[in-house]
């Protein structure tokens, strides 16, 4: 007979767990009720108790074993946790019970430990936002402040739902941008591999043939052919140096961007101003700004604090500097609209919509509408960019390979002309 694990609540409200060997899930529920418990979860066990113990023991680390993997929590896991907690709280379940229930369903041991630690802190008298703040690597300022605003307003489930929706929208945009960039990156990788094979294996064989035909000094070879042969010889003789140099350039480029203010500013400016990529990057940045600020303000976070958090999560130095100007202006009692217009980063339509939102007292709703509009424009821009990049990359690859083929066949054509003459 199948086994069923159950979680139930007794008459005193205490949680009970156990295993029953019955014919079906309905029979298990009936048996639990006969025991005087209220079942909250009943699930069939796929393994026997002995098999489950063996599997559990197999997953446990041996004494002295060191794990080289870094503990992480994915955005998907965090979003799923946030959405499920909002549903449980909205259904009337106390926060502590909701945390305990979700902790049991989380498979990531690192994340499970964090949830249990948050639950312990809440049990010791901390608020939910205070407990979250003890894990800044997992829960950013946006998450913590929205939860805090939800706690103060008594609408925690609303704040959590907004957080989950925000995370889902952000991930959707990131996924679309990544999908747009995948094709050109893949083509560049393939082109590099093809070039390396041609330069190190194919062209040297032609060089031997040309040496027999035109002599070792290569006299009489077309200039273009000589140029390609020289490149091939350099790549073949210095393969490690060329590969190491390429890797070094990439590492230095990343360090300059990530570690220096000027490098980051120059890179972000290049991304925003350079067509056709600039239009897409700008739309993504505006959509993220509008979604973040709108979500924070609608959840009751004070405008100055919301602007500060939005700046930190902007992901673009140009946009962050513009938000910094807005923060200073609002701090002095001005409206958001004027500094946004002065920055030159935001299109007139966005500035006008925010201005209307301020005048009508519907700023959060207007920001969310702007985010919706620009997220749709991101979809269109990704489609247009992909359709534009495909022929460009195909032509690029064809020109590179075609040039090498022409360089190798030019001497043969000249030799045939001489023989014909």
Distance CA 134, CA 121 (A): 9
Give the gyration radius of the chain's Cα atoms. 31
H or E segment and range at residue 3: strand 3-9
36: region left, alpha or beta (phi > 0 left; psi from -120 to 50 alpha): left
* For helices 95-105 and 75-90, angle between their N-to-C axes, nearest 10 degrees: 140
Distance CA 314, CA 413 (A): 59
Distance CA 112, CA 122 (A): 15
160: region left, alpha or beta (phi > 0 left; psi from -120 to 50 alpha): alpha
Task: Confirm whether pTM is higher than 0.75.
Answer: no
CATH number of 3-49: 3.10.20
Distance CA 354, CA 349 (A): 9
Nearest Cα neighbor of 350 from 331, 365, 337, 334 is 337
Nearest Cα neighbor of 401 from 252, 195, 200 is 195
| C-alpha 350, offset from chain centre | 26
First and final CA of the chain: distance in angstroms? 93
Hey, which residues does 17 pair with through a beta bridge?
7
Distance CA 91, CA 84 (A): 11
**pLDDT confidence of residue 53:** 45
Cβ neighbors of 231 (< 8 A, separation 6 or more) are: 199
**pLDDT confidence of residue 70:** 55
H or E segment and range at residue 41: strand 38-45
Q: Indicate the DSSP class of residue 17.
A: E
Helix segments in 106-238, DSSP class H: 109-123, 128-133, 141-153, 156-197, 203-214, 223-237
What count of Cα atoms within 13 Å lies in the side-chain half-sphere of residue 237?
Answer: 6
H or E segment and range at residue 16: strand 15-21
Distance CA 420, CA 414 (A): 10
Asked whether the beta carbons of 18 and 6 are under 8 A apart, the reply is yes
Residue found by looking up tokens 């009692």 in the block: 333
Q: Indicate the DSSP class of residue 346.
A: S
Nearest Cα neighbor of 168 from 106, 78, 91, 240 is 78
**pLDDT confidence of residue 366:** 92
Asked whether the beta carbons of 345 and 314 are under 8 A apart, the reply is no
**pLDDT confidence of residue 408:** 85
CB 411: neighbour CB atoms within 10 A? 20
Distance CA 408, CA 202 (A): 10
**pLDDT confidence of residue 16:** 76
Report the number of secondary-structure helices (H) and strands (E) in the chain. 18, 3
CATH-assigned architecture of domain 163-421: Up-down Bundle (1.20)
The full DSSP string for 46-58 is SS-HHHHHHHHHH
Record the tokens describing residue 158, joined without a space: 């609303």
**pLDDT confidence of residue 21:** 79
Asked whether the beta carbons of 383 and 182 are under 8 A apart, the reply is no
Distance CA 123, CA 169 (A): 33
Predicted confidence pLDDT, tens digits, the chain (421 residues)? 677 788 776 666 566 788 887 777 777 777 877 787 766 667 776 544 444 444 344 434 434 444 444 578 888 888 888 888 888 888 888 888 888 888 888 888 899 899 989 988 888 888 888 899 899 888 888 888 888 888 887 888 888 888 888 888 888 888 877 877 787 888 888 888 888 888 888 888 888 888 777 766 656 788 888 888 888 888 888 878 878 888 898 888 888 877 788 888 888 888 788 777 777 888 888 888 888 888 888 888 888 888 888 888 787 888 888 888 888 888 888 888 888 888 888 888 988 999 999 888 888 899 989 988 988 888 888 888 778 877 888 888 888 888 888 888 888 887 777 766 5
**pLDDT confidence of residue 67:** 41
Residues of the chain with CATH 3.10.20: 3-49
Residues of the chain with CATH 1.20.81.30: 163-421
């Amino acid at each position: 007979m199948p086994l069923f694990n159950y979680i139930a609540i007794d008459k005193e409200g205490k949680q009970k767990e156990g295993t029953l060997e019955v014919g079906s899930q309905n029979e298990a529920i009936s048996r639990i009720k006969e025991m005087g418990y209220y079942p909250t979860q009943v699930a069939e066990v796929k393994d026997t108790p002995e098999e489950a113990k063996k599997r559990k023991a197999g997953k446990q680390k041996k004494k002295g074993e060191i794990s080289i993997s870094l503990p992480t929590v994915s955005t998907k896991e965090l979003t799923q946790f946030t959405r499920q907690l909002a549903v449980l709280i909205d259904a009337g379940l106390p926060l502590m019970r909701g945390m305990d229930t979700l902790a049991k369903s989380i498979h990531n041991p690192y994340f499970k430990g964090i949830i249990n630690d948050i639950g312990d802190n809440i049990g010791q008298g901390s608020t939910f936002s205070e407990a979250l703040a003890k894990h800044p690597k997992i829960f950013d300022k946006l998450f913590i402040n929205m939860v805090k605003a939800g706690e103060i307003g008594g609408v925690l489930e609303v704040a959590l739902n907004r957080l989950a929706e925000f995370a889902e929208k952000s991930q959707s945009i990131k996924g679309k941008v990544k999908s747009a960039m995948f094709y050109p990156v893949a083509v560049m990788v393939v082109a590099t591999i093809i070039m390396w094979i041609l330069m190190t294996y194919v062209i040297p064989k032609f060089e031997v043939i040309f040496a027999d035909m035109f002599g070792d000094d290569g006299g009489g070879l077309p200039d273009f052919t000589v140029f390609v042969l020289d490149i091939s010889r350099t790549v073949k003789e210095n393969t490690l140096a060329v590969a190491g140099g390429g890797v070094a350039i990439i590492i230095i480029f990343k360090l300059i961007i990530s570690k220096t203010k000027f490098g980051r500013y120059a890179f972000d400016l290049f991304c925003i101003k350079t067509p056709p990529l600039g239009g897409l990057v700008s739309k993504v940045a505006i959509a993220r700004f509008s979604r973040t600020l709108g979500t924070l303000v609608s959840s009751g976070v004070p405008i100055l604090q919301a602007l500060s958090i939005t700046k930190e999560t902007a992901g673009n130095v140009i946009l962050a500097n513009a938000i910094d100007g807005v923060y200073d202006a609002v701090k002095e009692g001005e409206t958001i609209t004027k500094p946004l217009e002065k920055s030159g980063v935001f299109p007139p339509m966005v500035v006008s919509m925010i201005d209307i939102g301020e005048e009508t007292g519907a700023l959060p709703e207007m920001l969310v509408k702007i985010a919706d509009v620009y997220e749709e424009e991101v979809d269109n821009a990704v489609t247009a960019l992909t359709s534009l990049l495909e022929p460009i990359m195909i032509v690029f690859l064809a020109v590179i390979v075609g040039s090498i083929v022409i360089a190798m066949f030019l001497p043969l054509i000249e030799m045939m002309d001489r023989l014909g003459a």
